[in-house]
Amino acid sequence: MDNIVLSCANVTKDYDEGPQRVSVLKGVDFQLQRAQRVAIVGASGSGKSTLLNVLGGLDKPSGGEVTVLGQAFSKLSENKRGKVRNQSMGFVYQFHHLLPEFSALENVAMPLLIAGQDKKAAQDKAQELLSEVGLIERIHHKPAELSGGERQRVAIARALANDPACVLMDEPTGNLDKDNAMAIQQLMMSLSKSLAISFVVVTHDEQLAHTLDLVYELADGVLIERAS
């Protein structure tokens, strides 16, 4: 397990609430190595966001096991699971989920404050991260005062705040133009090298998928490695 940051074994997910039972994940096996950058592609509705939520411990699988840094999620208390999530994982959601009332700086500092850092240290770190994603001039802007690409970069800075071992991204370049998409791609590339951060990136962007280390396709509820 030494070099494996995140893994799942025979993960299934059924939704029972709707008019009919839907089996979205039918036995997903997956391993993510340290500093590896992996793309997940698949048709709309194939279950990519569902898989990402299960991998991130935001949603429970119906069966199977997700393991983060050697710790099986199902064996952890709710509280401990939250801690592992906060300390080891970063999330960039399909829709950015920044807090509208807070500035870019405050949004990025939030996970650090939740982790118990004092305000000054949290703000210093947030400022450094925002500078890294090219937003030093925008730190006091609220989400509504930022462009789509800028918001996405704030979300990425926030995901990196706690020096996570891995970052899970759902369509990080979905609403971005080519230049912004490229900038985010390069940022991921350099972070995986310099800080040994692993990335799982759900994307429809073939160009982005191609630049990552591995591409998986989610189809019929299973994940298959695509020949590159």
Ligand X SMILES: Nc1ncnc2c1ncn2[C@@H]1O[C@H](COP(=O)(O)OP(=O)(O)OP(=O)(O)O)[C@@H](O)[C@H]1O
Give the binding site for Mg ion (CB under 5 A): 49
Residues 72, 52: Cα–Cα separation, whole Å: 16
Residues in the chain: 228
**Minimum distance, C-beta of residue 52 to ligand X, in the bound complex (Å):** 8
**Both tokens of residue 82?**
């939250």
Q: Are 192 and 167 in contact (CB under 8 A)?
A: no
Residues 67, 56: Cα–Cα separation, whole Å: 10
| Residue 205: partners with Cβ closer than 8 Å, 6 or more residues away | 173, 174, 181
Please give the DSSP secondary-structure letter assigned to residue 57: T
**Taking CB under 6 A as the rule, which mask of x and - marks residues 92-111 in contact with ligand X?**
--x-----------------
**Minimum distance, C-beta of residue 98 to ligand X, in the bound complex (Å):** 19
When binding is defined by CB under 6 A, the residue of 3, 10, 45, 131 that contacts ligand X is: 45
Minimal CA–CA distance to 64: which of 108, 118, 114, 28?
A: 28
When binding is defined by CB under 6 A, the residue of 7, 46, 67, 107 that contacts ligand X is: 46
* Segment near ligand X (CB under 6 A); pick from 41-49, 61-69, 121-129, 153-161: 41-49
38, β-bridge pairs: 200, 214
When binding is defined by CB under 6 A, the residue of 44, 77, 79, 228 that contacts ligand X is: 44
In the complex with ligand X, the residue whose CB is nearer, 94 or 117, is: 94
Task: Determine if 49 is a binding residue for ligand X (CB under 6 A).
Answer: yes
Residue nearest to Mg ion (CB): 49
What residues line the site for ligand X (CB under 6 A)?
A: 15, 17-18, 22, 24, 42, 44-50, 94
